[in-house]
Amino acid sequence: MDATKAITELTATEQRIIKIKSDIDQFDELLKSVTSGYGDRDSLNEKYHNLILSTKDLSSHLAVIQK
């Protein structure tokens, strides 16, 4: 992998990590709302499922980069 491609991959990976952190923060706020009696559990479950999928995707991507 040449340097330009490596930098591009690292930048893309960094953006994915930033997005996942934002998703986790949003999930945390939604969780607080639901546990306080506000919000929708179905929405919470959907957000949790999407978060799991995005972290799984990132994990797979990082595994490929490391090879």
Domain architecture of the chain: domains with CATH: 3-66 (1.20.58)
Contact by Cβ (8 Å): 30, 47: yes
Query: pLDDT tens-digit profile of 1-50?
Result: 688 988 998 898 899 899 899 999 999 998 998 899 988 889 889 988 98
What is the reported pLDDT for 1?
Answer: 62
Of 15 and 58, more confident: 15
Query: pLDDT tens-digit profile of 31-42?
Result: 998 899 988 889
Q: How far apart are CA 16 and CA 57, in angstroms?
A: 10
Q: pTM of the prediction?
A: 0.75
Contact by Cβ (8 Å): 21, 63: no
Q: How many residues does the structure list for the chain?
A: 67
Q: How far apart are CA 44 and CA 6, in angstroms?
A: 36
